[in-house]
Structures are given as structure tokens and as C-alpha cells.
Structure 1
Amino acid sequence: RDFDDAISIDQHEDGSWTLGVHIADVSHFVAVDSELDKEASSRGNSVYLPGRVLPMLPEILSNGLASLQADRVRFTMSAFMDINTDGEVTSTRFSNSAIRVKHRFSYEQVSAIINGPKKRPDDLTKDVWDTVWRMRKLARTLRTRRFDLGAINLELSEVKIDLDRDGRMTGAHLVEGDESHQMIEECMLAANIAVARNLTESKVLHPRRIHPEPTPARLEILQDFVKAIGIPVPRLRTHADMQALLKKVHGTPQEYAVNFALLRSLKQATYSTKLEGHFALAAEDYCHFTSPIRRYPDLVVHRQLKHLIAQRPKRDGFSSDYLDFVCETCSLTERRAADAERALSQMKLLLFLRDKIGLRMEATITGVDRYGFFARGLEIPAEGLVPSSTLPGPETYEYDRAAQRLIGRKTGRTFQLGDHVVVEIAKVDPGRRSLDFKLVGSGPGKHGRKTAESGHRSRSQDAGHGNEKRPSKKLGKGRRPEGAVAPKRDSKKRKRKK
């Protein structure tokens, strides 16, 4: 498998840390402008489909020579960060290196350790055992500091398709990141930020990962929605405002609706040479360094970092035109890969459900429009349309765009983003990639409510939401960047890239 990262960690007597993030040195094997490099550039990234991976690099590299397998010496690019007790990186250094991974964990194995009995298993050395606990402690410190600086964390899950040995779908479920994922995530984020700062301070133009601030228009739509569902907020402009909103709804029936609405208000992260920062991470400068096996911008960053280490000319082979081309191309290939993953997941779900007409399931409303609402099943995360013409009646439902709800003119009954309902599979059309549900009852939480309010008109939403035509609804993720101890990839899926 394509194992591209490993971790080493030491804690000093004064409580400070030295974190080492060691990343597979793909650039050692892939020469600039070689046929291998040209093919990797055109692919842009690996594509992770249900039951299949389309790698950016040949498997002899991605799963073999470059992969950081346990007990094998491998070439790496290493980022060492000195971190104080408050989680602040005080100094960094980078080097070409060779490591041997002592132990490779799956996320499930780490979860079992940190959530189970505090007794070391016989198959783990004390050094490895201690590393896991040091890593947990440091990750919590780093995470606390990130959120203190304004980082935004959305509580949304991703869909994982369950397949049999023949590639046929047997079911699907939602995957939520636990603390074991956060431990790795914090280390990777710290390394990406450290590399970006180093390149910027060295005046090296490089592929950054940017996430622009949401537009005032989108924030206004979000604020209208939040007010319409009864959550008092004075304004939504800064990171602190959004953090306060997420904290206020955490653990409430409105949590999913608000997280989903906030996600829709944010722009998509892309690659660019411009210094525009990463809004969701609250990072002034950010790049991708930690996955060169599966992302081409990371490979370019590795080459540039090597130039700095070797004290070669900063722009040698990295013109602004070339870097802009890499950013534009890889932003497109990333979206193409995400679209392919969604389309195949959707098709497998539809084929799985086509002989299950009449199946009932609890679901959450994930989208509302004038022609009906979309809902996603809780046990089988299939997303389908409940047409307004099939809702309880005789009744006429008005669309309240600001509150993302349908309101019955006579009864005042409402169906709103985030509500829980019980639906029945009514129609499956794999050719059109569509799924229709029929509302049959109420689920847990707020649902099918009556209100004294009349549906009020509101400002138009921006492009991409609130289409007038009935779309073919697609499934997708919610929204996701060693002595070496490294994480096993326990699935071929990746979180939404940061």
C-alpha cells in the first residue's frame, strides 16, 4: 500500500517536544521531465474509488520502493519541529533522510490502545507504546492551539461503500474521524505549515494550498438561515463567530443542519502560488508536503525543499508559469477525482437498492428546494428526493429559501434542513442516477413541525444552490490535510482534502 508518512517524537525535560514528520522521498525515484514525471503530472493525484485505486505512480513505486513499509529502510524527506508546551512551533529544520519504520499501526489499533486498558500488549515494545501516548498528548496540545487561533472543524461524516470480494456492494456506512485520526492529522498539518513558512521565508514561489474567505453574500445567506431556525447570533464574519456558532449547536438537533449550511457557505480549497491563506485552518500560509505518492503538488514541493537544502538557485526549473500550470492542472484533476468517486459510489448504491423498493429507513434532510427535499439514510447513506407532491396533503408547500424549509400553507407543517424523517424507497433509476423516496413518518429529533410563521421571501442564493430544475442528486461526502511509528491506511478512502 501507499504508505507515505511516519512519525517520530521526543519530549524533553522542560516539557517541550521535537516532532519528526518523515515523508516518502518520491523525488528520489521520479526525475524531473522524465516520462514518469510527465504521466504523474497529467494524472495530478491518485484516484480512490470504491474497491479500486488508480495510482498517480506505478505500484512498484507507490506500494513498493517508495512506500514506508515496516522494517524496511526507505528514503524520506524529514521535517523536524521543536514545539513548546503551548503547542507553538519555535524552530524547524529539514533534511534528506533514510528511516526504518519500527511499527505500523492501523487507526483501529491506535484507538484500541488509547481507549482501552492502560496495559501494554505483549507485541508492543515499551518504546513504541510510549511513542503512542506522547503522540496523543502532543496532538491534543497542537489541536487546542489550532482552535485557539480560529480553526473551524465541521462535524460531518463521509460515506464508505462496503464491497464483497467480487466488488459488489453489500452495504454502506458513515465514517467519522476519531482521536486516532486526529493524532496523525495534527502532525501532518504542523509539517505542511512548517514547510510552507520555510519556503515563503526563503522567498521561494511554490504551490500553496489556499482556501479563500467566504464571500459576504454567502455569509449573509448563512446568517439568514441560522436566524430562521431560531439560533440567535449577532453576526457571522470571523473565525471566532463561526466557532461560537458551532459550539452553540453542538449536541443539539440543529447541529447537522448548521454544519451542513456552514460547509455550503465556504469556498472550495484549491492550489495557487498566491499567498491567500487557508480560511478553515486559520493558517496564513499552507502547502501540501505530506503525500507525494498520491499528490503531484507535494512532489513539486519536495523538489523545491531539496533545492533549498542543497543551496541550489531558488528558481532553478520552477518558473512562475510552470508553477501556475501545476496549480491549475492539479486543482482540476482533484475535482475530477472527487466527481468520479461520488459518481461510482452513487451508482453502486443505486444498483444495490434497485430491488429494495418499499424499504423503510430513518433519514436526515440534507437539502430543500421548491420541488421537494433531499434526505440521506442513516444506516444506508443513500440520498434521494422526496417530491413535494408526495408530502401529506391536500396541501400546498411554500419554499422558504433563507430557512431552507418547506412550509404548508394550511397546516403550517415544515420540513427543514437537518430534520429527521422516515422514508421509503419509491423509485430507483440507475440510468438517470436518481433515487426517489416517499415520506412515511417521523424520525427522532425535530421533524414535520408546525409553525405559526408564514414562509417569507428572502435573497437569492448564490450559484450552485437552490436550482429551479430538479437535479439528478449525487451522493457525496460531507466535509477531511517514526524510530518511526506510522499509521496504516485502514481504507482506500481519503478524507476531504484540506
Structure 2
Amino acid sequence: MDKNLEKRKRVVMDFVESPMYVPMKAKELAVFFDIEKERRPELDEVLKELVLEGRLEISKRGKYNKPVNKFLLGEFMANPKGFGFVRVEGRDSDIFIPAVCTANAMNGDLVKVVIDIESKERRAEGHIIGIEKHANAEVVGYYKKNNNFGFVLPDDTKILRDIYIPTARDKGAKTGDKVVVEITDFGGDKKKPEGEVIEILGKNTDVGVDILSIIRSFGLPEKFNDDVENELKKIPDVVLEKDLKGRQDFRDLITVTIDGEDAKDLDDAITLEKNGDIWHLGVHIADVTHYVRENTAIDKEALNRATSVYLVDRVIPMLPRKLSNGICSLNQGEDRLTLSCIMEIDKKGNIIGHDICESVINVNERMTYTAVNEIITESNEDTQERYNDYIELFNNFKTVSDLLRGARTKRGSIDFDLPESKVMLDNNGKAVDIMPYERNAATKLIEDFMLAANETVAEDFFWQDIPFLYRVHENPDPEKIKSLAIFINNFGFTLRRKNDELSPKELQKLLGNIEGSDAEAIISRIALRSMKQARYDTSCIGHFGLAAKFYTHFTSPIRRYPDLQIHRIIKENIKNGLYERRIEHYRAILDHVAVQSSQRERRAEEAERETVKYKKCEYMLGHLGEEFDGIISGVTGFGIFVELENTVEGFIRIADLEGDYFVYNEAGYELVGEVTKKKFVLGQKVRVKVYDIDRLAKRIDFKLVKERDGRGD
């Protein structure tokens, strides 16, 4: 630290904070302090530092004064190009931070930010004045040995500086090792971060090191602590007779679970009966809170994790497997404690009544999405013969599913049916195939039933006016919708808005109009990017995407903490009602649960994406030099992204586009040749060659082989 600089800053601030001070320019301050012309740079440096720290602000006329706007606290999200954004809880949009204003913050740091520019026409812009909490105490990266020292290139491309490692602190690491580094000094403008190697994960090319590196990078927990393990010993392996007291008994009803083939944590089961014209749909959810009591070690660890994380080769569960795969999982032929939502549904798909209760069930059949789809859609004779006793039930499920979906569609619910990636691995964890994972009638059926239960529970507890957690999805930003409207106009579609507001029904109408067209995938993706991110909140402000006034997460307490939390409230309310003391208790804790759950959800999604990106690179290594057909999925000022039919996405640098100098037209999401006027636009079909793959950066580079004029035909 420069002691003279700090002393000068104190002198200036003492004067600025005195009652006699009026806003002055730098020249006037120099006169006041009797600073000679040749020493003016010293004062300029002091003023610059005070502005960056947020202790002074400078007006348009160049006058310095105490800041009117206080700093905000938020999470810094770095971009590999140097700039970044700060996400502040409660703000509609992130704050843009130019590269020169990041104050050396690293990705994920909790920072103090001061807003410099804010208007309705553009995103707020600001500068970071300090780091409240570093997020990267430990960093995973690629170690390189130099003569007298080493350094680590972080796996996270958003950490823009490598980390200096003194020889005495390298733990014997060699070039090519993947290591975990504890940062001992975060450095500054003229000094790199410094660290110590605390773990060597193995060679970059060793089996399993790829996924292990991602697990460490995101700080995902791998084991449960001793306190959790000790509590698990007291939990029974079977449902005890005493635990059935006071529960509704649904064990005589035909009950099924429908999940993926590999699923082991089964937290929802369904039943269906009909009385006259009214369907009685039962959604039965594992009663996890019976075994996970508030403030126990298991509960605290579940809140810390907040969600299960599904990586390409493993699941990192929120709950220990004795619970998630055992006593809480609704396994076939086993009595299980549940929390049930029984809904009465009329012939128009309206839910006209419901009951929420503690219950006990016994699953008759553990069904898969594939088998159910073969029964209700494909009429597969072998599958129908195998499940002959359940065919009528499954067809009835399909009928009720169609009713619920029809009612939801009528009010404007949006269904983004974008293909997800399914990565196939061999016994060594190596990617051997990649394909789109597509929803079928069975997955949609379960989705319809779970949505219905989530909405029903949310509305019930909203009107009871007691503390609760909701899943909210706010209306999209008007500027993003305006850009979307301009973009789709290029395809011949329109988007009607009222007072710059978009209704879910209008967006649903657009998706219906583009269904089956070549433009469907691209417009759907751009429309999805225009949406805000769903999150958890204690206020019921609605769910835009579902066009729902009331929505919560009730149906997955094995893998999501918010579901477990509201089960606790529901059960307490069912049994005794919530007394004022308990109401105040939940009011005190639920805001933290909402923020923690939202943050952990984002972490899980990012980790899942990173493992998929890595495995895609691994798979495409076997296809270097090969040609593929694809579609332009993104256009930037640096080049174009191309997505192949198997969902693999690669990049073509603008410098590699031959025949012209291309300029980026942001409004049209297109690159345009200055001379030829040739265009590269979203949705355009192209043929590419796999040119280069960087597994460390998780990047695939393509070279253009052939393009077609305009968008896909």
C-alpha cells in the first residue's frame, strides 16, 4: 500500500466532508491546497482513486463532491473478453462493468458497485469500488512449470489471469497436471494472484479428471459429513407402523411412478379415478420432511446444497442415498409416506376442487417414459401385452393430461420445446455418442400433472396468507421484447404488444405459428433468451412462462430444498395450524432459503452445462476434419456459432470467413459483407468442417465449407 497516497486521500476527504466545502473542480482544489503545477498529477491520482472507491463522484462539469448514490452489493459475472456484469438481487437487469472498471474482481466475487449511467433506453453501467467477498478461494486449473516457479491457467475462462505458484508451494506438480490451488494473495493492478497447490487431481488426460475438475471448480460437495452420517443411522429402512397414524391410506389405489430408465430417486407417484364426469387425480410426493427434521445436520446440509446436481456421469445428491434412493424413494412394492394433492378435474380441464393431506401409498408399477409412450402413442404390442392390466389407466392418464394441457394452453402458457443434449458414455466415462433428448407423450403427461399440483398448492397457500416459497418468473424486459419483435419481422412474423408489454398468450401464438418451420428452433431460442430467469421468492408475483398467477415447487423434495421447505409448512399447517410464533419463524428464514436455493440452482445448471460442453469436445475429437450440416445458432461481431443436428455447437471466427470483410448488424443478428453484401444470419443452413478442438477451453472451431443464401429453406 502507498502510505503517501493514503495520507493524501485522508486529507482531501477531511476537507470534502467539512461544513465549509462546496463542490470544486480539480484546479480549484489545487489552488486551495496550494499545489504547484508540477505536482498536480499527484492530486489527480488521489481524486481518481477516491472516485473509483466510491467516496467521491464527479459531475458533468468536472466538480467533485460526496456521492449521492450509495454503492450496491452484487455478484460479479466476468466475461472472457475482460468486461463483466454485476447481478444485484431485486434489480430487473444486470449492471454492465467496462473492462477498465472491474477493480480486478474475479468471476463470482461479491462486489461493491456504483452506477455511473442509468436510463430506460440502455442497460445500467457502473464501476466496482471494492470486493466484499472473494468467491475463488480455491481455483482448479492446468499447471505449467517454469524454471524457478510455476503458474496455473484456470479452467474457468472467466478468471482472466493466471496464478503465480512459488516453487516451494507447488506440491511437486508437473506440467500437464490438473491441480487445485488455494489463493493466498489476490493481487492487484500490477501483481498477479498468488497461490499454493493443495491437491493434484491427475494428468489432464487421465480418466475421470475432466469431471472431477469441474466438480472442484464449482465447489460441489462430494461427501456428507460425520454428523449427517451419524443421524442417518437413526433413520429406519422401512416405514414404521407408528408413522401411519393420522394419514390417509391410498395403498388400495392402483399407483404408478413414471420416470427415466436410470432414475433411482423417485419422488412422485400418480393415481386416477373417475366419479361421474369428474376425474380425481392424485399426485403423491415423497414425505421427506418426516425424516429430515428442521435444523438437524441433514437439514442444514440439504439447505447448503439446495439441489441435486446431475452431471453427465453421476449425480451429486442433495440428500444421502439412504434417503434419496431408499426410505424416501417411492420404490415399487414398498409402503411409503407421502404428501398428497388430490385434484378434482372437470371435462374442460379445470381444477374445481382439491385436498392436500398426509398419506401412505404403495406403488404397483415402476414405469418408464419409454414404456408408457409405447402404450399411449405407439401402441407397441409387446409393451401393451406386458402391462395389459394398466392400459386403460394409462389411456385415462393421457386423457386427463390433454385436458390439463388444453386448459393451460388456452390461458397462454408457453411451451419451449427445445432439444436437450444426451451424452452417451462408455464404461470408462468417455463420450461415444451425442443426441438430442426429446420429450414424448409420457414426459409431457408427468409434466402436466406436476404443474397442476404445483399451481394448486401455491394458490391454496397464497389465499391462506401465511409465509411460503413461490417459484416466480417475471415479465420480460420491454427492450428485449422490442428486439425480438424486430428480429422475427425478418422472418415474416409479428409480435403484438400493448404499452410495450407482452402477454404470454401472444408469445404462445408466435411459437404456434412457427411450429414445423425451419425458423422454429432459432426463433424459439431467441425468444427464450428474451425471458428472465425463474427464481424463488417469498412474494407470489406469478409465473410469466406458465401464464400462472400462482406457482410453487411442491413435487421434488428429494432433489430440491424449496419443495422440502414448503412441505414442512404444509404439514405443520395441516396438523395444528401455524401459530404466530411459527409464522414469524418462517418469515425470518424464508428469504434466505429463496436466495440460497436460487443461487445453488444457477451453480448446478452451470456445472451441468460445463460437463456437457467438455464431453462434446471429447466426442468431436474423434471427428476432426469431418464435415457436418448445421444451422447458424448465434451471430456476434467476432464470428458465428453453428449448431449441428446432434446439438454440438462450434464457432467460426470472422477472420476465417473468406471473400469479403464482414460487419456485424446487431438489429438483424447478421454479418454482412461490405462489398458482396453476402449475409450470415440466424437460422441459415451451412456445411462446416471440424477444424480445431480445445478441451481445456471447452471450445470447438469450425471452418465454413458451404453456405446457402438466406435462412433455411
- TM-score by length of structure 2 reads 0.60
Structure 2 CA distance, aligned partners of 1:225 and 1:314?
54
Counterpart of 2:126 in structure 1 is none
Question: 172, 194, 210: which one pairs with 2:472?
Answer: 210
> Secondary structure at the residue paired with 2:667?
coil
1:299 and 2:564 correspond: yes
Counterpart of 1:191 in structure 2 is 453
Structure 2 CA distance, aligned partners of 1:260 and 1:434?
21
Structure 2 CA distance, aligned partners of 1:69 and 1:105?
11
**CA displacement at 1:233 relative to structure 2:** 4.1
1:413 and 2:675 correspond: no
Q: Bigger relative contact order, structure 1 or 2, given CA contacts below 8 A and separation 6+?
A: 1
Counterpart of 2:706 in structure 1 is 441
Counterpart of 2:608 in structure 1 is 341
Asked if the contact 1:405–1:417 (Cα under 8 Å) also holds between the matched residues in 2, the reply is yes
Counterpart of 2:651 in structure 1 is 385
Among the aligned pairs, what percent are the same residue?
Answer: 35
Counterpart of 1:98 in structure 2 is 360
Asked if the contact 1:307–1:314 (Cα under 8 Å) also holds between the matched residues in 2, the reply is no
Counterpart of 2:268 in structure 1 is 5
Structure 2 CA distance, aligned partners of 1:175 and 1:348?
15
Structure 2 CA distance, aligned partners of 1:112 and 1:314?
50
Asked if the contact 1:229–1:403 (Cα under 8 Å) also holds between the matched residues in 2, the reply is no
After superposition, what is the alpha-carbon deviation per residue over 1:239-282, rounded to whole angstroms, capped at 9, x for unaligned? 22212211221111111111011001000000001111000001
Asked if the contact 2:684–2:710 (Cα under 8 Å) also holds between the matched residues in 1, the reply is no
Which of structures 1 and 2 has the bigger CA Rg? Answer: 2
Letter in 2 for 1:219: I
Structure 1 CA distance, aligned partners of 2:610 and 2:361?
39
After superposition, what is the alpha-carbon deviation per residue over 1:178-209, rounded to whole angstroms, capped at 9, x for unaligned? 11111100000000011111111111221100
Letter in 2 for 1:251: G
> Secondary structure at the residue paired with 1:134?
helix
Which structure 2 residues correspond to residues 152-171 of structure 1 after superposition, within 5 A? 152-171=414-433
Question: 281, 299, 306: which one pairs with 1:37?
Answer: 299
Counterpart of 2:195 in structure 1 is none
> Secondary structure at the residue paired with 1:217?
helix
Question: 393, 408, 414: which one pairs with 1:131?
Answer: 393
Letter in 2 for 1:97: S
1:358 and 2:625 correspond: yes
Structure 2 CA distance, aligned partners of 1:124 and 1:283?
36
After superposition, what is the alpha-carbon deviation per residue over 1:27-81, rounded to whole angstroms, capped at 9, x for unaligned? 0110110000000000000000001000000001100111001111110000001
Structure 2 CA distance, aligned partners of 1:141 and 1:234?
28
Counterpart of 1:113 in structure 2 is 375
Counterpart of 1:54 in structure 2 is 316
Asked if the contact 1:413–1:449 (Cα under 8 Å) also holds between the matched residues in 2, the reply is no
Cα distance change, pair 76–263 in 1 and its aligned pair in 2 (3 A): same
Asked if the contact 2:374–2:380 (Cα under 8 Å) also holds between the matched residues in 1, the reply is no
Which structure 2 residues correspond to residues 204-243 of structure 1 after superposition, within 5 A? 204-235=466-497, 237-243=502-508
Counterpart of 1:369 in structure 2 is 636
Which structure 2 residues correspond to residues 396-411 of structure 1 after superposition, within 5 A? 396-411=661-676
Structure 1 CA distance, aligned partners of 2:303 and 2:681?
44
Q: Name which of structure 1's ranges 268-277 and 251-260 shifts more when overlaid on structure 2.
A: 251-260
> Secondary structure at the residue paired with 1:398?
strand
Structure 1 CA distance, aligned partners of 2:336 and 2:427?
32
Asked if the contact 2:430–2:618 (Cα under 8 Å) also holds between the matched residues in 1, the reply is no
> Secondary structure at the residue paired with 2:366?
strand
Structure 1 CA distance, aligned partners of 2:634 and 2:559?
33
Structure 2 CA distance, aligned partners of 1:208 and 1:173?
34
Letter in 2 for 1:210: V
> Secondary structure at the residue paired with 1:117?
coil
Cα distance change, pair 397–6 in 1 and its aligned pair in 2 (3 A): same
After superposition, what is the alpha-carbon deviation per residue over 1:130-162, rounded to whole angstroms, capped at 9, x for unaligned? 211110000001001001011011131111111
Structure 2 CA distance, aligned partners of 1:139 and 1:265?
29
**CA displacement at 1:121 relative to structure 2:** 3.4
> Secondary structure at the residue paired with 1:302?
helix
**CA displacement at 1:118 relative to structure 2:** 7.8
After superposition, what is the alpha-carbon deviation per residue over 1:84-140, rounded to whole angstroms, capped at 9, x for unaligned? 1111111111111110001111000011101233868343253x2221111000000
Letter in 2 for 1:408: G
Letter in 1 for 2:694: D
Asked if the contact 1:204–1:314 (Cα under 8 Å) also holds between the matched residues in 2, the reply is no
Structure 2 CA distance, aligned partners of 1:314 and 1:267?
36
**CA displacement at 1:231 relative to structure 2:** 2.4
- TM-score by length of structure 1 reads 0.86
Structure 1 CA distance, aligned partners of 2:655 and 2:384?
59
Counterpart of 2:28 in structure 1 is none
Counterpart of 1:491 in structure 2 is none
Counterpart of 1:484 in structure 2 is none
Query: For the aligned residues, what is the CA RMSD?
Result: 1.6
**CA displacement at 1:321 relative to structure 2:** 2.9
Counterpart of 1:68 in structure 2 is 330
**CA displacement at 1:311 relative to structure 2:** 2.5
Q: Name which of structure 1's ranges 116-125 and 420-429 shifts more when overlaid on structure 2.
A: 116-125
Q: Name which of structure 1's ranges 73-82 and 109-118 shifts more when overlaid on structure 2.
A: 109-118
Structure 1 CA distance, aligned partners of 2:558 and 2:579?
24
After superposition, what is the alpha-carbon deviation per residue over 1:208-238, rounded to whole angstroms, capped at 9, x for unaligned? 0000000111111111111233324444721
Structure 2 CA distance, aligned partners of 1:331 and 1:234?
32
The number of residue pairs the alignment matches comes to 442
Counterpart of 1:245 in structure 2 is 510
Q: Name which of structure 1's ranges 38-47 and 254-263 shifts more when overlaid on structure 2.
A: 254-263
Counterpart of 2:286 in structure 1 is 24
Asked if the contact 1:3–1:68 (Cα under 8 Å) also holds between the matched residues in 2, the reply is yes
* Structure 2: gaps spanning 5 or more residues: 1-263
**CA displacement at 1:433 relative to structure 2:** 2.0
**CA displacement at 1:285 relative to structure 2:** 0.9
After superposition, what is the alpha-carbon deviation per residue over 1:441-472, rounded to whole angstroms, capped at 9, x for unaligned? 24xxxx4339xxxxxxxxxxxxxxxxxxxxxx
Structure 1 CA distance, aligned partners of 2:463 and 2:344?
18
